[in-house]
Chains A and B, each alone.
Chain A
Amino acid sequence: MPDKERIVRVPIGPQHPALKEPESFMVDLQGEKISAVTLRLGYNHRGIEKGCEERTYVQDVYLVERVCGICSHSHSTAFVQAVEEIAGLELPHRAAYIRTLIAELERVHSHLLWLGVAGHEIGFDTLLMYTWRDREQVMDLFAELTGNRVNYGINTVGGVRRDISPEQLPRILKVVDALEERTKYYIELAMTEETLAQRLSGVGKLSKEDAVLLGAVGPTARASGVDRDTRRDDPYAAYGELEFQVVTDDRCDVFGRAVVRLGELMQTYSMIRQLVRQMPEGPITVKAPLRIPAGEAVSRYEAPRGEDVHYVKANGTDKPERVKIRAPTLANTQSVAKMLEDGYLADLPIVVAAIDPCFSCTDRMIAVKTREDARTMGWEELVQYGVRWYRERGVDVSKIKMRGDSTA
């Protein structure tokens, strides 16, 4: 009964408590049922692709890392892999292992984060508090291994920037053991808790055919029975030497997506153990040229949210000609409208959350505001501003010379 009078239009976003990042869902409601959804993305476009063309490859590694706060390592790895392929660099064995180790730890923290967010979206805050407390252990581990909790800055063209000391390896294993215990508990919880099952089962259905047609990736696709995982299909870094299974599920609903992520966590723990056990000796970096020879490459990377694709075109200078980033969320948002069809408003938050969206990843281009107080700063001006800012607070950073920095 498409009665126009009885349709209520609810704006979910761009600012809404269910969404941690700006995006907009215009939801048409008939009672509690959703009759149509209009999606609008792009609120967070920051001009990273354009910015990459105007910076050197070394600077780009750090810029690309800031595409996303959660899967920062994914983007920087995908980018340096493409650059390394163009430059014909052979990644040192140990560097490949360290990259993979950080990548898998990132998956642990991302999936635990997702579990908490999923709990929160269905009003199960206890799960949120528990998982995020456990996640702190990985974050602390990151701080110890890389110096940062997020945006680890461990990648560089031709290798990694920090080595992992022999004393740190047992510490990693300890964290993995503890988290494996906790994950087993969450799996048990997911399988037995009644309200959880009621809220997740049969919600946000996406059939296998639709998943393929709409180009879903990562756990979203795998929970619809699509057996795709870049780590196995197109191995990069050290994945070719690891033993693991690709977790799939044919429930095709939010519950399936949770099951896939929990299963992946267990696989990831086993992969981290293998990485720590087989960690080879050797250098962690090869010397990379500042000017990358002309050429192009596409790099694929299985981020926690799905396949992350980077395209880099080099023109022989120290700056890339073109960088193109496809974050997994952009691929997955296409299926959200399908999942919401005939659903309830109450299910919208969890269905959206179930693709583990990361809209900052998705949007990368800036909107130039013409506000009165807004101003544009060049790189030099920004550096000067930063130096001045710190000097006013009693810290003089202008004397510090960065390695390989010839201009300062």
Chain B
Amino acid sequence: MTVGTAVVNILVFPGFLFLVALGLAGEFVDRKLYARFQNRQGPPWFQPVADVLKLFGKEDVIPEEADRTTFNLAPVFALAAVVAASLYIPLWSATSLFPFDGDLIVVLYLLLIPTVCFFLGGWYSRSVFATLGAVRAITQVFAYEIPLFVALLAPSLLANSWSISKIAAYYAAHPWLWLVNLIGFGVALVSLLGKLERVPFDTPEAETEIVAGSFTEYSGRRLAFFRLAINCEAIVGASLIAAVFLPFGLGLAPWLGFLVYLGKVLLILGILALLRTLFARLRIDQMIDFCWKVVAPIAFLQVLINLVVRELI
């Protein structure tokens, strides 16, 4: 791989631009489904694009009290981290762009950076709503991140590898073994809801309590960057879950593999939209209770199952 193709890969396809396009399409799917579930019309397909363009054209306000450097950099870092994470996830083929042993851990850490950026951006806005949102965001991390880690650890135990590409390849070679990981799949979805700060885990940006949480003081292109980061995070998160838990259609022709991949991401986005239609927002204490008392034990149960299965086969 030459430097030229690597740059194209990172910036255009399947890197930055492709991911942003997919992220905006994903937002449309989510909003349309959410609207239809609620008996509404929903937005036209170009609405997310229009929103981003409009935000880029808007006036940019930085609060006087805010720490300018952190306030400016947080959105860019959030987006950059998500794009970086996408490079290590196999999308439609069995391997990612730059696979190496242990990329699963790297991806998980890269996916943590946006949340840290939400916290930093909110904290250094110095607005009371943003501060509260920031604190809630970082509190929530401790609740959903552990179950997510454990849920993703379980399949890798069976595959005996920390590489996403190798995990995917292992399950492709043992077609029915993915059924073992169904519980982990559910746990990962729930944790992803928390990561994306969606109902019922949207306390960090609960509109009716703390306006927009961390994003209260953000406007214009910085807000657009944050929104793009969240959209891309949804796609990357869904891709990660798809690669680890739904490992079929990997050996197909590239275009067919791509369609299968889109199908998987759509399925996961659909489930996320459905979940956010069904529930009311939990209070932060209830959220943490739920994650630690229900989700985390279930995730550990998955690990236990996988350890037993590993001994059997």
B32 to chain A, nearest CB (A): 14
Tell me which residues across on chain B come within 8 A of A125, comparing CB atoms.
38, 199
For A317-348 the 0/1 string (1 means CB < 8 A from B) is 00000000000000000000000000011111
Docked Cα-Cα span, A119 to B40, in Å, equals 16
**Interface residues on chain A, number (Cβ under 8 Å):** 32
The answer to whether A199 and B209 have CB atoms under 8 Å apart is no
Tell me which residues across on chain B come within 8 A of A121, comparing CB atoms.
208
Does B281 have its Cβ within 8 Å of any Cβ on chain A?
A: yes
Does B53 have its Cβ within 8 Å of any Cβ on chain A?
A: no
The answer to whether B208 and A17 have CB atoms under 8 Å apart is yes
Docked Cα-Cα span, A11 to B40, in Å, equals 33
The answer to whether B208 and A349 have CB atoms under 8 Å apart is yes
Does A45 have its Cβ within 8 Å of any Cβ on chain B?
A: no
The answer to whether A126 and B211 have CB atoms under 8 Å apart is no
Docked Cα-Cα span, A124 to B208, in Å, equals 11
Tell me which residues across on chain B come within 8 A of A122, comparing CB atoms.
208, 280-281
Docked Cα-Cα span, A345 to B40, in Å, equals 30
Tell me which residues across on chain B come within 8 A of A126, comparing CB atoms.
37-38, 277-278
The answer to whether A199 and B280 have CB atoms under 8 Å apart is yes
Contact pick for A10, options B132, B284, B286, CB 8 Å? B132
Given the interface pairs A123-B280, A198-B282, the reply to whether A130 lies near B208 with Cβ below 8 Å is no
Does A129 have its Cβ within 8 Å of any Cβ on chain B?
A: yes
The answer to whether B38 and A130 have CB atoms under 8 Å apart is yes
Given the interface pairs A18-B209, A129-B38, A133-B39, the reply to whether A124 lies near B280 with Cβ below 8 Å is yes
Does B65 have its Cβ within 8 Å of any Cβ on chain A?
A: no
The answer to whether B128 and A199 have CB atoms under 8 Å apart is no
CB nearest to A129 among chain B residues: B38
Main secondary structure of the interface of A (DSSP, over half): helix
- A-B contact number at CB 8 A: 83
The answer to whether A348 and B209 have CB atoms under 8 Å apart is yes
Q: Which residues B252-266 have CB closer than 8 A to chain A?
A: none
The answer to whether A199 and B38 have CB atoms under 8 Å apart is no
Docked Cα-Cα span, A29 to B131, in Å, equals 13
A-B pairs, top 5 by smallest CB distance, nearest first, are A123-B281, A124-B280, A18-B208, A129-B38, A349-B208
B41 to chain A, nearest CB (A): 11
Interface centre among A9, A11, A344, A348 (most CB of B within 10 A): A344
Tell me which residues across on chain B come within 8 A of A344, comparing CB atoms.
283-285
The answer to whether B286 and A198 have CB atoms under 8 Å apart is yes
Tell me which residues across on chain A come within 8 A of B132, comparing CB atoms.
8, 10, 29, 345
Q: Which residues A195-209 have CB closer than 8 A to chain B?
A: 195-196, 198-199
Other than the given A17-B207, A18-B207, 8 more pairs (CB < 8 A) read A8-B132, A10-B128, A124-B281, A129-B38, A130-B38, A195-B279, A198-B283, A349-B208
The answer to whether A17 and B211 have CB atoms under 8 Å apart is yes
For B270-299 the 0/1 string (1 means CB < 8 A from A) is 000000011111111110000000000000
For B105-134 the 0/1 string (1 means CB < 8 A from A) is 000000000000000000000001101100
Tell me which residues across on chain B come within 8 A of A18, comparing CB atoms.
207-209
Interface CB pairs A-B, < 8 A, 11: A9-B128, A11-B128, A122-B281, A123-B199, A123-B280, A126-B277, A129-B40, A130-B38, A344-B283, A344-B284, A345-B210
CB nearest to B206 among chain A residues: A123
The answer to whether B280 and A195 have CB atoms under 8 Å apart is yes
Docked Cα-Cα span, A344 to B37, in Å, equals 30
Docked Cα-Cα span, A199 to B207, in Å, equals 16
Docked Cα-Cα span, A211 to B116, in Å, equals 45
Does B220 have its Cβ within 8 Å of any Cβ on chain A?
A: no
The answer to whether B283 and A346 have CB atoms under 8 Å apart is yes
Docked Cα-Cα span, A29 to B281, in Å, equals 20
Does A120 have its Cβ within 8 Å of any Cβ on chain B?
A: yes
Docked Cα-Cα span, A193 to B200, in Å, equals 13
Does A184 have its Cβ within 8 Å of any Cβ on chain B?
A: no
Tell me which residues across on chain B come within 8 A of A396, comparing CB atoms.
none
Q: Which residues A102-127 have CB closer than 8 A to chain B?
A: 119-127
Tell me which residues across on chain B come within 8 A of A196, comparing CB atoms.
280
Tell me which residues across on chain B come within 8 A of A11, comparing CB atoms.
128
Docked Cα-Cα span, A195 to B211, in Å, equals 21
Does A32 have its Cβ within 8 Å of any Cβ on chain B?
A: yes
For A1-12 the 0/1 string (1 means CB < 8 A from B) is 000000011110
Tell me which residues across on chain A come within 8 A of B277, comparing CB atoms.
126
B283 to chain A, nearest CB (A): 4
For B7-34 the 0/1 string (1 means CB < 8 A from A) is 0000000000000000000000000000
Interface centre among A119, A126, A127, A344 (most CB of B within 10 A): A126
A128 to chain B, nearest CB (A): 8
For A169-202 the 0/1 string (1 means CB < 8 A from B) is 0000000000000000000000001011011000
The answer to whether A10 and B280 have CB atoms under 8 Å apart is no
Tell me which residues across on chain B come within 8 A of A129, comparing CB atoms.
38-40
Does B202 have its Cβ within 8 Å of any Cβ on chain A?
A: yes
Tell me which residues across on chain A come within 8 A of B128, comparing CB atoms.
8-11
